[in-house]
Amino acid sequence: MTEYSTRDHDRESVQSGRSGPSPTLIALIVIAVAALIFVLANRDTIDVSFWAFQVEAQTWVAIVIALALGALLDRLVAAWWRRRR
């Protein structure tokens, strides 16, 4: 049975530079706070017209849907481009 204490583990994590929150966690928190500020600042209702459809939606919802459709279009074009080559 090996003796591996938590003190040795703590010393290894400090030596490897892995103490504190990860950069990914920090980025996630910053993006979440920015998204919350964005939603709170864009709660007005607007008319959205697309072809024959016309709906009322909050500004942030319309922008998020447009971004999601843009990301989906990007993935579809990238997949088509890879298949074409």
The residue extents of the domains of the chain are 1-41, 45-85
Q: What global pTM score does this model have?
A: 0.60
Q: For residue 20, what is the DSSP state? A: S
* Sequential pLDDT tens for the chain (85 residues): 555 555 555 555 555 567 888 999 999 999 999 989 998 998 999 999 988 889 999 999 998 899 899 999 999 999 999 998 8
**What is the per-residue burial (b if ≥16 Cβ within 10 Å, else e) of 45-78?**
eeebeeeeeeeeeebbbbebeeeeeeeeeeeeee
